[in-house]
């Protein structure tokens, strides 16, 4: 039996990956990380979605990351940059202030350990380098290196899957639609850095990318349907 553990935040990308994994593997479990994030409502959203599917869902406390990695997502006294400010930072070669240093490194390390404990051969994560926010730990070379490191460290044969790696946000919406969960992803997930479920606050970088991708996908789908 092929068993996959998905790194699951309850956001657009990880929820799309979750439904992708349900099509790919015999069994799927989920793990959500509590790292003291300001948008902590994502944990409740993840519980609700996983619970509705009857999945085994692990919530791991890694709040030490909050102490080690100052960021707008780990400090309530640091305002989340607007999408425009984040774009300016990227154009100047700086990382946006929503970057949490080492987050995916820690997530995948703990996910790999947990996968070994529950007998999962696969780990699925929703990182994406094609339409990402400038985070270095969302790129394919990091994932490949991390996969090798996990297997060397644990004498294991885990496979990390990144089904969204080369997709734009528009293409991720298309994938959700093809999986029959576009409305669920749009209405029930939490991507917003300010903790607003669904379409979000409309101001933060995550909301900007999500909305831009959705609008592009819906326009393309409508044009295709009119041909």
**What confidence tens digit (pLDDT) does each residue in 167-197 have?**
999 999 999 999 999 999 999 999 998 899 9
pTM: 0.92
Structural domain for 10, as ranges: 3-225
pLDDT in tens, 132-147: 567 889 999 999 999 9
Q: Averaged over 2-11, what is the pLDDT?
A: 97
Query: 31-70 burial, b for 16+ CB within 10 Å, e for fewer?
Result: bbbebbbbbebbbebbbebbeeeebebbeeeeeebbeebe
Q: How far apart are CA 145 and CA 136, in angstroms?
A: 13
> Which tens digits make up the pLDDT trace of 193-226?
889 999 999 888 889 999 999 999 999 998 887 7
Residue 221, domain CATH: 3.40.50.620
Q: What is the pLDDT of residue 225?
A: 75
Domain count, the chain: 1
Mean of the per-residue pLDDT values of the chain: 91
80-123 pLDDT tens trace: 766 676 666 666 667 777 778 889 999 999 999 999 999 999 99
């Amino acid at each position: 039996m092929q068993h996959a553990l998905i790194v699951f935040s309850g956001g657009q990308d990880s929820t799309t990956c979750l439904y992708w994994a349900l099509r790919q593997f015999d069994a799927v479990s989920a793990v959500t990380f509590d790292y003291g994030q300001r948008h902590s409502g994502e944990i409740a959203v993840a519980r609700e979605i996983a619970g509705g599917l009857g999945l085994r869902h692990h919530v791991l406390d890694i709040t030490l990351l909050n102490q080690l990695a100052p960021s707008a997502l780990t400090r309530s006294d640091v305002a989340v940059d607007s999408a425009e400010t984040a774009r300016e930072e990227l154009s100047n070669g700086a990382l946006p202030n929503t970057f949490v240093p080492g987050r995916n490194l820690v997530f995948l390390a703990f996910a790999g350990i947990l996968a070994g404990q529950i007998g999962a051969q696969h780990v699925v994560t929703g990182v994406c380098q094609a339409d990402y926010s400038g985070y270095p730990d969302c790129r394919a070379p990091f994932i490949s290196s991390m996969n090798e490191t996990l297997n060397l460290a644990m004498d294991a044969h885990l496979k990390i899957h990144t089904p969204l790696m080369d997709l734009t946000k528009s293409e991720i919406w298309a994938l959700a639609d093809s999986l029959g969960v576009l409305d669920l992803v749009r209405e029930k997930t939490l991507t917003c850095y300010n903790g607003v479920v669904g379409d979000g606050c409309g101001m933060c970088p995550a909301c900007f990318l999500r909305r831009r991708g959705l609008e592009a996908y819906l326009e393309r789908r409508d044009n295709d349907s009119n041909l």
